[in-house]
A and B are shown apart, each in its own frame.
Chain A
Amino acid sequence: MVESLAAEIAAEADQSHMILDLAQVRRLDTLGAWVLDRTRHELGSRDLGADFANASQEQQILLDEVAYRGFQEQAKPRRSKAVDFLVDVGQSVAGAGRDLVDGIAFLGELVSALIRVVVNPRRFRGTAVINQLEQIAYRGVPIIVLISFLVGCIVAQQGIFQLVRFGATPFVVDLIGILILRELALLLTSIMVAGRSGSAFTAEIGSMKMREEIDALRVMGLDPIEVLIVPRVLALVIGLPLLTFISSIAALSGGGVTAWLYGDVSPDVFLSRLRAAVSFNTFMVGMIKAPFMALVIGIIATLEGLAVQGSAESLGRHVTSSVVKSIFMVIVLDGLFAMFFAAIRY
Chain B
Amino acid sequence: MLDRVHPPIDRNREVVIRVRGVEVGFGEKTILRGLDLDVYRGEILGFVGASGQGKSVLTRTILGLVPKRAGTIEVLGQNLDELSPSERRLLERRWGVLFQQGALFSALTVKQNVQVPMREYLHLSERLLDELAMLKIEMVGLKPDAADKLPSELSGGMIKRAALARALALDPDIVFLDEPTSGLDPIGAGEFDELIATLQRTLGLTVFMVTHDLDSLYTVCDRIAALGEGKILAEGPIETLLESDNPWIRSYFHGKRARAAMASGA
Task: Give the B-binding residues of A (Cβ under 8 A).
Answer: 207-208, 211-213, 215-216, 218-222
Contact = CB atoms under 8 A, between A and B. Distances in A.
B103 A211 contact: yes
Contact of A220 (B60, B100, B116, B176): B116
Interface in B85-127: 88-89, 92-93, 95, 97, 99-101, 103-106, 116-117, 120-121
Contact of B92 (A207, A212, A213, A221): A221
Interface string B224-235: 000000000000
Contacts of B88: 221
Q: Report the contact-size class of chain B (Cβ under 8 Å from the partner).
A: 20 to 34
A212 B120 contact: no
B117 A212 contact: no
Interface of B: 60, 63-65, 88-89, 92-93, 95, 97, 99-101, 103-106, 116-117, 120-121, 176
Contacts of B64: 218-219
A213 B105 contact: yes
Contact of B101 (A212, A218, A219, A222): A212
Contact of B93 (A208, A215, A221): A221
28 contacts: A207-B106, A208-B105, A208-B106, A211-B101, A211-B106, A212-B101, A213-B104, A213-B106, A215-B60, A215-B65, A215-B99, A216-B97, A216-B104, A216-B105, A218-B63, A218-B64, A219-B63, A219-B95, A219-B97, A219-B176, A220-B92, A220-B97, A220-B120, A221-B88, A221-B92, A221-B93, A221-B121, A222-B116
A305 to B, nearest CB: 14
B115 to A, nearest CB: 12
A249 B99 CA distance: 50
Q: Which 7 A-B pairs have the closest CB atoms?
A: A221-B92, A212-B103, A216-B103, A221-B89, A219-B97, A212-B99, A219-B63
A247 B176 CA distance: 51
A206 to B, nearest CB: 12
A317 to B, nearest CB: 21
A125 B106 CA distance: 19
Contacts of A212: 99-101, 103
Contacts of A219: 63-65, 92, 95, 97, 176
A207 B101 CA distance: 13
A208 B108 CA distance: 12
Contacts of B120: 220-222
A33 to B, nearest CB: 28
Contacts of A216: 97, 99, 103-105
Nearest to B107: A204
Given A211-B106, A213-B106, A215-B65, A220 B117 contact: yes
A123 B157 CA distance: 34
B223 to A, nearest CB: 23
